Chains A and B, each alone.
Chain A
């Protein structure tokens, strides 16, 4: 028996999410009194791979195969399910990000394994195997029993604390046979954002809503974000109006984020917006309407016009950063 965790890399590097996944897998393995095997697909240096060991991975299966350079969910499913069999995995852990959402359901059917998606805590119970998962877009959490022998859990990003565990991992290089006829996804072009903090990765997010009144009013918000090392986000009306790109839309149908600090500027806090941010650890609301629902979820609030408050806040941050 083992706990298997798929750790994605980005241009050969792991990120906090990868270590959250291994920390979570290690927690589950402790409950089951078993070991953690991590799978890495792509070109990753040995020193980078060994970082997974410091969060509790006992064994790292390193796969560097050209045919896996493109994410094709059918091919990835074949590779991971084969390893799952060899490792006798009872629980498989994957990120609840775009990659995980592509792979986890296919793996579920291949292995006849029930999925608990968007988990944010360790399983509540082993018998029956019960997980705590987000439902109703964050308005409720369900206790979900997974009845199958193998369980697949997808972990919500930024929801589980990193936990360093002393220990050494062994690396096993594997070159699985990939059935080329399965490889059907062809990538014709790639456009990557560079130099920007990804919204889903950010510890701090500064977000603007309709209360910003015009796209021309964004410079102080962006300056605040830059000073704090934060990513920028926006509410749906702002992205619908084209004031900000749709990648920044945070909310039910946009991005779901869980930063340590979310600063909502000129955002009233409609249910659909709160669905995207309610897992943030701290929320600051700046809004001219003292009755805005955003204040019900915020820990710190300033009632005032965003255009007057933001410049003062920027100056104050500059002071403390001196």
Chain B
């Protein structure tokens, strides 16, 4: 079995087995939020880990994915699925429209441009009081399919788990396709990639749009699951959180970013016992991990394991 399939089967097994270890609705909620964050990271990883482009504005797509369908259902009484499709289309279009000019930039400039995009979206959501409810957020109607309302932790656990496995499968297929190899080539050297006849700009745009769609979908699911959304979801810190999850778990490792998402979602809940010092402890843990496992948790541990096996 190829290693990518092994990873996928393992993820599916964890998703299937996890409910036996979850004691109550709160645990389910944390598990669901891990899954949704992981979905964003799997998409973002295509951009950061494989294509080598930085985005500090992905929360904007997450936020738009949450707000657009929520508003269409709330204000215009659209059907949930139609609203979701429209929301994803909006996210995709915005990503496509900004991708070309933004992705001409490199390094710090690219980071700044995506950062600016994220901040603009967050400002609009924060200030359009009558539409979005402003900084205190808005409540979101439950997702409806006909007369069936999707609500409750049990339902959303399986929806999230299924979507995550599907999302990882799609991402891994993409990575192992010619397109994925092209992405990795332009990560290595854009000039070399171009000289091999790879449409560098085209592939960058594709990676950007796909990762934005992952974020948008996760945003929509988060809003429908929690039935509440605030502008913080679209804010700068949220963007940083996503990038941190990717870097922490391990860039260019699809399962790694899932682990990164799990750690960063779990830690604040596990550290509440430290009261006033929780941010300090969280910071120390993250710093320690980056110093001792600089390639990210999963790739670094994998390398250690291989070395240990070679020795024994």
Q: Do A and B bind each other?
A: no
